[in-house]
Each structure stands twice: as C-alpha cells, then as structure tokens.
C-alpha cells in the first residue's frame, strides 16, 4: 500500500483487543538467540519527503536514454489509465480464479482478453496466458508433438532467423522430452531459405516454426510457408509480434486461398500490449490455436455460460488437464501465467481499440523506414537485407565492432540497438535497430547524427 494508515492510538487499541502489551510480544515464539536487537550500518528512518528526494536523485542517476533497442521487448506509449486501473486492489490482489462464484470480475476480464487475442490472431481459441514469449514457444513445440499424432519423429523445424533466446529456452524445456529442433537457415534476404526447406519435403516433420516478423525485422512469405507445411503434413507454429498484427495478415489466415488453413498454433510475447520495459520482465506469453487442438493447449481457458436465470457467468473450463487437478498428466508444469500483466494488456487493447492499435503499428513502421533511410546515409553504415520490407526493426552493418560504438552512443544518452555479432557472427558487425511510435522525427535525426559522430570520432 502507498502508506500505513494506522495511528499510534489505533495500534494500541488493536494490541489491547488481542491482549498483548506491545508488538514485540507478537514475535515471542522466536528464540532469543535468533533475534536481532539492532541493525548496524542501517541509517535512521527517513521522512516521506526525504525518501521522495532520495528516490528522485537515484532515478536521475539512472538517466533516461533515447531507446532504439527492440529484439523482443519494445518501448510503446502506455496510456496512464492502463496501470491506474490495473493496480486497483480488485485486480492487483486477485489470485487464480479457482472459485468462480468469488472471481467473476477476474474471469470476465480474462474471457475478454481471450476474445481479443483470438480476434487479433485469427484463431479459434486463446488461453489465459503463459509465462513469457520464449517459454510459450517451448510449450507450443510440446503441444504440437501431442496434437500431431500421425507424426512419430518429434522433429520441429525452426528458422535460423528466430529470436536466439527463444531457441535456447525452447531447447532447454522441450529437448529433455525428446523434441528435436532442426535449423532451417536464412538466405541472403534474411528470410527462411526456401531451397533448404524444400530438401526436407516428404519427411516426417512434426511442426514448422515461422517467426513473423523475423528476429531481423524481415517479413516472411507466410502464405507459401503455410502451404509447404500443409503439403508436407506438418503443423505450423507461428511466433508473432501482436502489435504487427494490426497491419499484417493474421496467422489464422496464412496460406493460399484455395487450400490454406492457416497456422495451427500461434504464440509470442505480449509485452508490447501495455507492459512497460522492465529489465527483462515480468512480461507474459500468449498462445492461441485452432479449435481441434484445444485439449492439448496448456494454460487456463475461461468459458462463458448462463445460469438457470439466463444471466451470464464465467468459469475455468477444460480444467481437468490443468496442473492443479491432474499434475502427472498436465499439459504443462510451468504454472505462472502472469495474470496481472494480462490484465494490463486487456485494458490497453480495450482503451486503444482496433484503430488505435493500427495507428501504433503504422506509426512504428513509418519511423523504422525513416530511420533506416537516415542511417543508410551515414558513412560506415550499410543496411542489411535492404531490399526487404520490414515492420519496426531492421539490421545495419557497421565498418567496425559494434560494442564500442554502442558504448559511445550510451555516453551520449542513446541506447543504440542490439549487437548481433555474437548470436549471428555470419552477419559481421551487425546491429539490430528498432523505432516505435514513441520516436519523433527529431529523435530519429538525433540518433543518426550521434551514430555518425561516434563513427567519425573513432576513425581519428
């Protein structure tokens, strides 16, 4: 709580009511040898005004960089109302809604979230979230193995342009259960190498994973990839940025019009939907699927029904496979679903609506296109995959190691992007840059000018 409301008089009244003469008596069951009677090195308590001044000074010391880092976590504008509502006590203190009659508000919110995510992805059903985007991919791979009973190989094809963290987490979680992840390399255009994929035609493939946009920001030919999966009897797992779906084709519609059936499972990171950047989390993962696979989907699912009086009601459904009922047969044993972050995402989507989300996506795309054009004019900078369309991220190659350049930019108050030289050494001195709707034209110019200055200074 923001403050402790009880006066000294009220404290004495409460102690008297329970029959003790001081707060210390509440802890008398702790042996004296284990009790601490002083806190050496801990300063005397501060007043509220002093604490506020201290925290402002600490925050100012951290600074506020002009941020151009993306790589899976994105800076978007979050309307003030989102977290004002999310942190109300009714939501903030809510727990797993096992007892439906006492949890209708939480259940209805989760139902609305599921409805929005199913609509956004073009899928039949959504769960009520997972731990994060990376573990959501691991869960999707395990789900694909359970759902695709005709496939005996447990082979999952993952693109070389997949988020490397997602790949590591998926392998750590699912490989121990017999799932094999095989890499399909990316080509010179930054997209899945279709020739390499074609060489696996006719093989027993459990699932094909496609990230759209890719980790490099490039856009895949998702219709052709969906058709390949269908023709080769593989399930299709889509890893998507939810904001991009306001502009891009929904995964549920991927594939040629005459026989395309869309993705089977859609997952990803929900952080762009109203969750602030926070040193890596907490964020939340989302997952949607086709109705035929719903009994293999991990996580909670909220259903809507009516009571005997015809009034609507909400409850956990299909929960016989949930961890808290049949743990040994659970579809997942990662129980955390980050419900508070889902609450924020639901409020965010409800507030900005379809048109607002489309505006966010369009503005982000426009800024990224502008910034790529500005950086292309900087000496020592070469756009990579320059001929490919993008959403709000892109890759540039520098004429020197990226690390020192990013440090120089940081000294100027700019977080310049993500160094790709370690996860993707084949790209050379590559830098992944992101621009969302939060950036102004002045911000874009400031970054281009700062990068040019840093490269010029390092050349002296």
| Residue 248 exposed, middle or buried by CB count within 10 Å (0-12, 13-18, 19+) | middle
* 321 pLDDT more than 70: no
The secondary structure of residue 242, as a DSSP letter, is T
Helices (H) and strands (E) in the chain, counts: 12, 15
pLDDT above 90: residue 328: no
For the cut 50, the answer to whether the pLDDT of residue 322 exceeds it is: no
| C-alpha triplet 105, 106, 112: angle, nearest 5° | 90
Average pLDDT over residues 217-244: 97
Q: Check whether 219 has a pLDDT greater than 60.
A: yes
Read off the pLDDT of residues 116-165 as tens digits, 9 standing for 90 and up: 999 999 999 999 999 999 999 999 999 999 999 999 999 999 999 999 99
Could you count the other beta carbons within 10 Å of the beta carbon of residue 49? 8
Q: What's the pLDDT band for 457 if we cut at 50, 70, 90?
A: confident
- 316 or 444, greater pLDDT: 444
Encode pLDDT of 29-39 as tens digits: 999 889 888 88
Residue 258 pLDDT > 70: no
Query: What is the spatial distance between Cα 328 and Cα 335, in angstroms, rounded to a whole number?
Result: 13
pTM: 0.87
Q: Which pLDDT band, with edges at 50, 70 and 90, does 351 fall under?
A: very high
* Token reading at 156: 């999952």
Whether the Cβ atoms of residue 368 and residue 390 lie closer than 8 Å to each other: yes
Per-residue pLDDT at 167: 98
**Residue 14 reports pLDDT greater than 50:** yes
Residue 189's CB is within 10 A of a number of other CB atoms, namely 14
DSSP state of 387: T
User: Cα 458 to the chain's mean position, in Å?
Assistant: 36
What are the sequence ranges of the domains in the chain?
8-62, 66-77+354-458, 80-347
Q: How far apart are CA 83 and CA 101, in angstroms?
A: 26
Q: Which of 387, 63, 419, 437 is nearest to 243 (CA)?
A: 437
**pLDDT for res 303:** 94
Residues in contact with 194: Cβ distance below 8 Å, sequence separation at least 6, in sequence order: 187, 221, 224
How far is 295 from 152, CA to CA, in rounded Å?
19
Alpha-carbon distances of 220 from 50, 119, 227, 408, rounded to whole Å: 54, 21, 13, 34
Strand bridging mode 66-67 / 207-212: unpaired
pLDDT band at 447 (very low <50, low <70, confident <90, very high): very high
Distance between CA atoms of 263 and 237, rounded to whole angstroms? Answer: 6
pLDDT tens digits along 128-137: 999 999 999 9
From residue 424, give the alpha-carbon distance in Å to each of 64, 107, 158, 216, 289: 29, 43, 15, 10, 31
- Give how far Cα 211 sits from Cα of 163, 172, 267, Å: 8, 19, 10
For the chain, how long is the longest CA-to-CA vector? 80
Instruction: State the CATH architecture for 80-347.
Output: 3-Layer(aba) Sandwich (3.40)
- Res. 7: pLDDT tops 60: yes
Distances (CA, A) of 74 to 20, 22, 109, 230: 53, 50, 24, 33
The architecture CATH gives domain 66-77+354-458: Alpha-Beta Complex (3.90)
Please tell me whether residue 29 adopts helix, strand or coil conformation: coil
Coil, strand or helix at 243: helix
- Give CA–CA dist 355/394, Å, rounded: 25
Quick count: other Cβ atoms within 10 Å of Cβ 99? 10
Q: What is the pLDDT of residue 265?
A: 98
Residue 107 CA, distance from chain mean position? 22
133 closest CA partner among 330, 275, 344, 302: 275
How far apart (Å, rounded) are the C-alpha atoms in residues 338 and 153?
A: 33
The predicted pLDDT at position 285 comes to: 96
Containing H/E element for 417?
none
pLDDT at residue 459, rounded to an integer:
62
- The 8-class DSSP code of residue 318 comes to S
The continuous run of DSSP H or E covering 344 comes out as helix 339-376
Cα–Cα distance measured from residue 20 to residue 206, given in angstroms and rounded to the nearest whole number: 66
Q: What token pair was written down for 222?
A: 């998702």
The overall average pLDDT reported for the chain is 92
Length of the chain: 460
What pLDDT, on the 0 to 100 scale, is given for residue 336? Answer: 72
Q: Which pLDDT value is given to residue 151? A: 97
Averaged over 256-263, what is the pLDDT?
76
Averaged pLDDT for residues 348-362: 98
- The whole-angstrom separation of Cα 367 and Cα 143 is 37
pLDDT (mean) for 103-116: 95
C-alpha span between 136 and 144 (Å, rounded): 12
Q: How far apart are the first and last CA of the chain?
A: 55
Residue 85 has pLDDT above 60, yes or no: yes
């Amino acid at each position: 709580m923001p403050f402790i409301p009880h006066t000294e008089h009220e404290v004495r009244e409460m102690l008297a009511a329970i029959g003790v003469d001081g707060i210390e008596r509440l802890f008398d069951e702790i042996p004296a040898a284990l009790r601490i009677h002083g806190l050496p090195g801990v300063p005397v308590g501060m007043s509220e005004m002093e604490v506020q001044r201290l925290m402002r000074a600490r925050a100012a010391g951290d600074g506020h960089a002009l941020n151009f880092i993306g790589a899976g976590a994105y800076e978007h504008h979050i309307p003030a109302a989102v977290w004002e509502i999310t942190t109300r006590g009714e939501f903030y203190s809510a727990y797993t809604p096992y007892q439906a009659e006492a949890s209708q508000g939480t259940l209805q919110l989760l139902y609305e979230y599921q409805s929005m995510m199913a609509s956004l992805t073009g899928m039949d059903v959504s769960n009520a979230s997972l731990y994060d985007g990376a573990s959501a991919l691991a869960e999707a791979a395990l789900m694909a193995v359970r759902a695709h009973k005709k496939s005996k190989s447990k082979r999952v094809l993952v693109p070389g342009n997949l988020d490397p963290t997602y790949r590591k987490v998926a392998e750590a979680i699912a490989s121990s259960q017999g799932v094999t992840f095989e890499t399909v390399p990316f080509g010179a255009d930054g997209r899945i190498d279709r020739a390499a994929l074609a060489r696996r035609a006719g093989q027993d493939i459990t699932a094909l994973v496609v990230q759209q946009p890719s980790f490099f920001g490039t856009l895949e030919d998702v219709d052709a990839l969906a058709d390949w999966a269908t023709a080769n009897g593989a399930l299709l797992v889509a890893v998507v940025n939810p904001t991009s779906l306001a502009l891009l084709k929904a995964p549920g519609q991927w594939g040629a019009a005459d026989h395309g059936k869309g993705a089977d499972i859609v997952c990803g990171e929900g952080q762009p939907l109203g969750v602030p950047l926070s040193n890596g989390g907490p964020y939340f993962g989302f997952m949607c699927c086709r109705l035929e696979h719903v009994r293999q989907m991990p996580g909670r699912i909220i259903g809507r029904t009516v009571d005997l009086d015809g009034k609507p009601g909400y409850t956990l459904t299909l929960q016989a496979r949930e961890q808290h009922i049949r743990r040994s047969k659970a579809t997942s044993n990662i129980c955390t679903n980050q419900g508070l972050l889902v609450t924020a995402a639901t409020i965010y989507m409800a507030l900005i609506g379809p048109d607002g989300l489309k505006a966010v996506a369009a503005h982000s795309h426009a800024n990224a296109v502008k910034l790529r054009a500005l950086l292309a004019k900087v000496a020592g900078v070469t756009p990579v995959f320059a001929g490919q369309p993008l959403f709000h991220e892109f890759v540039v190659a520098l004429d020197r190691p990226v690390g020192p350049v990013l440090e120089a930019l940081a000294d100027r108050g700019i977080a310049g992007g993500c160094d790709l030289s370690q996860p993707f050494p084949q790209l050379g001195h590559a830098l992944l840059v992101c621009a969302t709707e939060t950036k102004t034209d002045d911000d874009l110019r400031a970054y281009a000018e700062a990068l040019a200055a840093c490269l010029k200074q390092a050349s002296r």
